[in-house]
Structure 1
Amino acid sequence: MLAAIFVLPFLRLNSLAEHPRFPTMMFSFAVCIFLAIFSLHCQQQVHAAKILIVPMPAHSHVSESNTVAVELVKRGHQVKFYFPDDFDSSKCAPVIPSIRYGQDAMYHAKQVLDKITEVTSKGRYSRFNYMQAARKAICAQLVNNTTGLEKLRQENFDFAIVDYLFFIKCNLLIPYNLSIPFAGISSVIMSLDAGQPISTSVSPSVFTPYTPNMAFHERLINTVTHIMTNIVTYYLLEAYDYSKIAPGLSWKNLQELSKKAEIYLENSDVVLNYPKPSMPNLIQVGGLTVKPPKPLPKNIQKFFDEAKHGVIIVSFGSIFKFNENLKNIFMSVFQKLKQKIFWKADEEKEIGNVLMTKWLPQNDALAHPNTKLIIYHCGNNGMFESRPRRTFSLCPTSS
Structure 2
Amino acid sequence: MKIILTLYCAIVLTTFIEINQVHSLNILGVFPFPGKSHFFVFETYLKALSKKGHNMTVISYFPQNQPIENYHDISLAEKLKDIEGEFPDENSFWNILKVASSLVELGTKNCKTLLENKNVQNLWKTKSKFDVVVTEQFNSDCSLGLAHALNAPVVGLTTHALMPWHFSRFGVPFNPSYVSFMYLNGGTKPTLYQRLKSVIISAYLRLIYKYLGQRVEQNTLAQYFDDIPPLEELGRNIKFQLLYTNFVHFGSNIFPPNVIEVGGYHVASPKQLPDELRKFIEASQHGVIYISFGSMLRAASMSRNQLETILSTLSELPQRVIWKWEEDSIPGNPKNIYISNWLPQNDILAHPNVIAFYSHSGLLGTTEALYHGVPVLAMPIFGDQPSNAAAIEESGLGVQIDLKELTKENLLKKFRTILDPRFQANVKLLSQAWRDRPTSAMESAVHWTEFAARYQNFTFRSAAADVPFYQYLCLDIFCILLGIPAAIICIILTCLLNYKIKSKKKSKKE
Same fold (TM over 0.5): yes
Question: Which residue does 1:389 correspond to in 2?
Answer: 372
CA contact (8 A) 1:102 1:148 kept: no
Structure 1 residues 129-138 or 379-388, which shifts more?
129-138
Of 73, 80, 85, which residue of structure 2 is paired with 1:99? 73
Aligned equivalent of 1:76, options 53, 69, 74: 53
Counterpart of 1:60 (choices 37, 46, 66) is 37
Q: CA deviation at 1:164?
A: 1.0
Q: What amino acid does structure 1 have at the position aligned with 2:248?
A: V
3-state secondary structure, aligned to 1:143: helix
Deviation of 1:271 after TM superposition, in Å, equals 1.0
Query: Alignment partner of 2:347: what SS?
Result: helix
Deviation at 1:143, TM superposition (A): 2.4
> Taking structure 1 as reference, are residues 360 and 219 closer, same or farther at Cα in structure 2, changes over 3 Å only?
same
SS at match of 2:27: strand
Pick from 180, 189, 193 the counterpart of residue 152 of structure 2: 180
Q: How big is the alpha-carbon RMSD for the aligned residues of Structure 1 and Structure 2? A: 4.0
Q: Note the 1:52-201 alignment, pairs <5 A.
A: 52-55=28-31, 56-84=33-61, 87=62, 97-102=71-76, 104-107=78-81, 109-110=82-83, 116-117=86-87, 119-120=88-89, 126-137=95-106, 139-144=108-113, 145-150=116-121, 152-153=123-124, 156-165=129-138, 167-186=139-158, 187-189=160-162, 190-201=166-177
Q: Alignment partner of 1:313: what SS?
A: strand
Deviation at 1:273, TM superposition (A): 0.7
- Hey, what's the Cα distance between the residues in 1 that align with 2:343 and 2:218? 36
- Offset of 1:243 from its aligned partner? 4.6
| Contact map agreement 1:201 1:223 (CA 8 A) in 2 | no
User: In structure 2, what is the equivalent of residue 380 of structure 1?
Assistant: 363
Q: CA deviation at 1:266?
A: 0.6
Contact 2:112–2:220 under 8 Å retained in 1? yes
Contact 2:289 2:321 in 1 (8 A): yes
- After superposition, the Cα gap between the structure-2 partners of 1:185 and 1:349, relative to the gap in structure 1 and judged at 3 Å, is farther
Unaligned residue ranges in structure 1 (runs of 5+) = 1-39
Residues 176-227 of structure 1: CA deviation (Å, up to 9, x unaligned): 4433221101121232122334444432322343344567787666555544
Are the aligned partners of 2:51 and 2:69 in contact in 1 as well (CA < 8 Å)?
A: no
Q: Distance in 1 between matches of 2:354 and 2:47?
A: 28
Q: Quick one: which of 318, 322, 345 aligns to 1:342?
A: 322
Q: For 2:89 and 2:198, how far apart are their aligned partners in 1?
A: 25
Q: How many correspondences in the alignment? A: 348
Alignment deviations for residues 111-151 of structure 1 (CA, whole Å, 9 cap, x no partner) = xx56x44x537989711221222334455245233224135
The structure 2 residue matched to 1:51, chosen from 19, 27, 40, is 27
* TM score, norm. by length of structure 1: 0.71
C-alpha deviation, 1:298, in angstroms: 3.1
Structure with the larger helix share: 2
- 8 Å CA contact 2:180–2:187 kept in 1: the answer is yes
Confirm whether residue 268 of structure 1 aligns to residue 258 of structure 2. Answer: no
CA distance in 1, matches of 2:106, 2:71: 24
Tell whether 2:186 aligns with 1:203.
Answer: no
- The structural deviation recorded for 1:269 is 1.4
Aligned-partner Cα distance in 1 for 2:90–2:188? 32
SS of structure 1 residue aligned to 2:247: coil
Q: TM-score, normalising length from structure 2? A: 0.57
What is the alpha-carbon distance in structure 1 between the residues aligned to residue 79 and residue 194 of structure 2?
A: 42
Relative to structure 1, the CA distance from residue 333 to residue 147 in structure 2 (aligned partners, 3 Å threshold; closer, same or farther) is farther
2-side partners of 1:96 and 1:384: how far apart? 29
Cα distance in 1 for partners of 2:292, 2:215 equals 33
2:154 partner letter? F
Q: Which amino acid aligns with 1:101?
A: S
Please tell me whether the aligned partners of residues 312 and 375 of structure 1 are also in contact (alpha carbons under 8 angstroms). Answer: yes
Q: Can you list the C-alpha shifts for 1:364-385, whole angstroms capped at 9, x where unaligned? A: 2111122122222212222222
Deviations 1:81-129 (A, max 9, x none): 3222xx47669x988845243463223x44xx56x44x53798971122
User: Between the two proteins, what is the percent identity of the paired residues?
Assistant: 23
Amino acid aligned to 2:75: Y
Are the structure 2 counterparts of residues 203 and 372 from structure 1 closer, same or farther at C-alpha, using a change threshold of 3 Å? same
Matched residue type, 2:79: A
